[in-house]
Structure formats: C-alpha cells, structure tokens
C-alpha cells in the first residue's frame, strides 16, 4: 500500500536465522530478497543496511530523510549480531542532526496534483485547506494525478514508471563506497551489514602478508549507487561475503543481485548459515590456499569457500554412495558435534566479529562437514 500510495514509511528488520522461528538468537542475513522484492506487484522501495552499532543510529536518520524526500517506504536491515552488541561511539550532535518536522497547514490555492507525473510526489499535510475545494485522495488503488482511482492502462504504465524513476534519481545521489585496502589488485571483498568488522580485519591481515586485497561495504543495497562497476573493473575477482544460503544457483543473495545488475562473471560468492558471525580466518581460508596460510595455522581450506558457480547435480549412484558413507559417519560424529548455539548471543557475536573466539571445540571445517553430510547425504565434504 505504501508503495502505491507513495507514503513515507520506515520498516526495521532485525534479521535472525530462519525461516519461521528458525534460530531466534542467532545471526543471519537471509531477508535481503524479501526486503527488496517482497510484496504484490511492482512495488519499489529503498533498502539500507547498517554496518555497526553506531551506523544503526545514523542510518535511521538517513532513512527518514529519504522516505520524506522521495515519498517511499524504506527498509533498514540490521541483524542479531548488531542488535545484541554493545559498542561505545562518540555522542552524536543531536542539535544539528535531529529534525523537527512541522506541518505546513498554509491554505493551498489552485489545482494541487500530489501524483504529478512530472515530479516526485509530495503530499499535503492532513488539515491543510484547499481554496478551490478540490481535495486530493490517498489510495492503494491505481490512481490519476489527483489520487482518484482509475483503471486506465496508459495511466497505470505512466504511474508505474513514475514510482520506478524516483529510485533511479536516488541512485544518482548516493555516494560510491570507499575502497579499504589496495585500490586495485587480485581480490575485492564486498560485504553488507554486520560483516563489516571481520571483512576489514581479513583485508588488513591479508595485506600484511603481501596479498593484493581490498574491500568495500555497501550501506545502500537498493537502489545500488552508480559507479560500482568502475570499482569491480580494477580487480581480478570480486567475492561477496554474506551470511545466507548459496541458493539453488550457487550464489548468496547480494551476489545474485550484483551478478544480475552488472552481468559480471567474476563476481563470486562466499556464504554460510551456521548462525554465527564470520571470523577472520574463515574469510581468508575461504578465499583459497594462499590466503589461508596467512590467517590460520593449517593450510587446509575450510568452509565457507568461494563459489563461482552452482554445484553440479549428483547422479543416483553418487547419492547412494554418499548416503552409505553418511550413515556410518553421522553416528560417529553425533556425540562430538554438540550444540554450538551461543548461550549469550550478544557477547558471543561481538567477540566473534574480532575473529578471536572459537564457538566450539571443533574447528569450523569439521562443523561445516557435519552439516554437509547431514544435509546432502554425501561424504565428499570430508575429503581433504
């Protein structure tokens, strides 16, 4: 309704492991598609993602500004890691930042068209008097420039384009994210949300070891800021690091969007869904052997790993063999797998962001292998 009526609206989504009740105290970034595309029909909206506790404060102010300026719904995506974390940051200058919207109830003269096709919709505050006696309507039905319901095919096409183009205008105003690390090189990490800390620490550690590594972090997810393709062109591969499933096509949710937007095959995906934040060594090991040796005492690659394409379908014989292996392995691993759910998600997530805490006595490679065996029935995940 808010998309059709073009009303300012802010929705905050603190993501957790899903679907349904899922992992109510664990972290995940699996609501991105829902935030961007969830809804009936073509219903454009803005999606922002906070990266730190401090950013949660400032992104709320930005969301309010965008919602009012463009008369559109704005989603703010946070997650359990941010919501349960405690961080200290400089006290904001509230006198400069806070807005006190005052209703302009000045009587309006002349015909007022809130849904004028030639400009971005700006509604008149309720209570303002129309001197000509013609008051605009606000409705969830398709409408003309005065807000009156209409079934005109031409008007529906024109209004659909109007609601779309205002987001394209917003994209022109959004800042291009800064590159952290090398301005060009081998690998560019792309993150969003609470992956900010471990990604930046992984870049720092990799560069200290002589790797040509960099990162950008996206706060504006939909629409994307213009100019990202120029950054991607400076690197041999682009790896999107996010906490959601690789999906049936082998890519995480943001990676799927970026590949669709830029048609760039070098955009790859690193995902995980264990309900825990990324650790530095997980990112470095996921990038490959030459990175793993910089962040871990072991040269073995552990999951999550970079996925450049969807996994190949298994044959019936592969599945049968894998199932036989799994039956023998699951019982042996069941006792030592244990419950790795953090008892204090806030403290655990905060420590995990620094890459200094083990969530289990077993390394992530073993935990990931257990999950792979249980889900796919294949023993291939246990091969080193």
Confidence of residue 301 (pLDDT cuts 50, 70, 90): very low
- As a whole number of angstroms, the distance between CA 253 and CA 251 comes to 7
Confidence of residue 374 (pLDDT cuts 50, 70, 90): very low
- As a whole number of angstroms, the distance between CA 52 and CA 194 comes to 6
Architecture in CATH for domain 2-97: 3-Layer(aba) Sandwich (3.40)
The residue written with tokens 């930042």 in the block is: 97
Domain boundaries, the chain: 2-97, 109-173, 180-307, 320-340+360-384
Do 2-97 and 180-307 share a fold? yes
pLDDT tens by residue, 332-354: 343 333 433 333 333 433 443 44
Q: How many helices (H) and strands (E) does the chain have?
A: 14, 10
Which of 292 and 76 is assigned the larger pLDDT?
76
**What is the DSSP secondary structure assignment for residue 221, as one 8-state letter?**
E
Between vectors from CA 61 to CA 59 and to CA 67, what angle results, nearest 5°?
Answer: 100
Asked if residues 145 and 113 have their Cβ atoms less than 8 Å apart, the reply is yes
* Residue whose C-alpha is closest to residue 70's, from 206, 164, 207: 164
Residue ranges in the chain assigned as alpha helix (H): 2-5, 32-37, 53-70, 80-83, 94-97, 153-173, 196-208, 228-232, 253-262, 280-287, 289-295, 316-337, 345-353, 364-376
pLDDT at 7: 95
**Residue 219 pLDDT exceeds 50:** yes
pLDDT tens by residue, 124-163: 888 888 888 888 889 999 999 999 999 999 999 999 999 9
**What is the DSSP secondary structure assignment for residue 181, as one 8-state letter?**
E
pLDDT at 281: 94
Specify the CATH number of the domain 180-307. 3.40.50.920
The residue written with tokens 């806070």 in the block is: 98
The pLDDT mean for the chain works out to: 82
């Amino acid at each position: 309704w808010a998309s059709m009526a073009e009303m300012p609206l802010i929705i905050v989504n603190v993501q957790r492991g899903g679907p349904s009740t899922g992992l109510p105290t664990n972290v995940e970034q699996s609501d991105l598609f829902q935030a961007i595309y969830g809804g009936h029909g073509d219903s454009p909206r803005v999606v922002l993602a906070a990266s730190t506790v401090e950013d949660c404060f400032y992104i709320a102010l930005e969301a309010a500004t965008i919602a009012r300026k463009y008369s559109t719904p704005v989603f703010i995506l946070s997650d359990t890691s941010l919501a349960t974390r405690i961080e200290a940051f400089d006290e904001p200058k509230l006198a400069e930042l806070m807005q006190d919207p005052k209703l302009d109830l000045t009587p309006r003269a002349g015909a007022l068209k809130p849904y004028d096709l030639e400009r971005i919709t700006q509604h008149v505050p309720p209570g303002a008097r129309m001197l000509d006696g013609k008051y605009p309507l606000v409705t969830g039905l398709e409408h003309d420039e005065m807000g009156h319901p209409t079934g005109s095919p031409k008007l529906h096409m024109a209004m659909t384009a109007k609601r779309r183009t205002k987001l394209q205008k917003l994209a022109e105003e959004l800042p291009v994210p800064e590159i952290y690390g090398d301005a060009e090189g081998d690998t560019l990490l792309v993150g969003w949300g609470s992956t900010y800390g471990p990604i930046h620490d992984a870049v720092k550690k990799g560069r200290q070891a002589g790797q040509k590594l960099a990162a950008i972090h996206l706060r504006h997810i939909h629409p994307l800021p213009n100019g990202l393709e120029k950054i991607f062109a400076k690197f041999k591969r682009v790896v999107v690091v996010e906490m959601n499933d690789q999906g049936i096509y082998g890519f995480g949710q943001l990676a799927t969007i970026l590949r669709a937007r830029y048609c760039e095959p070098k955009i790859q995906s690193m995902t995980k869904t264990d309900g825990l934040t990324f650790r530095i060594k997980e990112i470095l090991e996921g990038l490959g052997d030459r990175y793993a040796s910089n962040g871990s005492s072991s040269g073995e690659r552990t999951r999550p790993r970079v996925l450049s394409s969807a996994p190949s379908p298994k044959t019936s014989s592969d599945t049968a063999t894998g199932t036989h292996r799994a039956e023998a392995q699951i019982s042996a691993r069941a006792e030592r797998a244990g419950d790795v759910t953090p008892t204090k998600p806030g403290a655990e997530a905060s420590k995990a962001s620094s890459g200094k805490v083990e969530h289990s006595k077993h390394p992530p490679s073993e935990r990931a292998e257990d999950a792979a065996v249980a889900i796919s029935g294949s023993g291939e995940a246990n091969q080193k």
